[in-house]
Amino acid sequence: MGGLAATPQPPYFAVIFASTTTEDTAGYAEAADRMIELAASVPGFLGVDSARDAEVGITVSYWESEDAIARWKADAEHTVVRESGRTRWYSAYELRVARVERAYGFTRSPVDPRSCSTETT
């Protein structure tokens, strides 16, 4: 996944998952990648943004509706991996669901090298 999620105009929903991991992270990255792939196949999935450093990870997934979120939560493979997270990978996590009412952003335009001059006069 590259860049930020391209979401539609609000309203839509955001599931915000913040976590800290245990020292046993074997298989965690692969499971996280699979969960994003699987979530993308659920009707109503809009996109995902995710970041992790050595201490904290935050993943925000975007959904058309609360029904779509419920379908994701009920997915059998997601349920198995979620339980692995609780018993093995996570030392703590918080999950929050929010309705997005406003959204805006910024994208830097690429600089055209032909428009830049290095000449000095």
CATH of the domain at 67: 3.30.70.100
CB 60 within 8 A of CB 49: yes
pTM for this prediction: 0.86
Q: What is the pLDDT along the chain (121 residues), one digit of tens a residue?
A: 569 999 999 999 999 999 999 999 999 999 999 999 999 999 999 999 999 998 899 999 999 999 999 999 999 999 999 999 999 999 999 999 999 999 999 999 888 766 655 555 4
Nearest C-alpha neighbor of 46 from the set 113, 93, 103, 112? 103
Structural domains of the chain, count: 1
Residue 114 lies in a domain: no
Residue 54: inside a domain: yes
Instruction: Tell me if 119 is assigned to some domain.
Output: no
Q: pLDDT at position 121, please?
A: 47
pLDDT at 118 (0 to 100): 54
Of 54, 69, 95, residue with least CA distance to 13: 69
Structural domain containing residue 80: 12-103
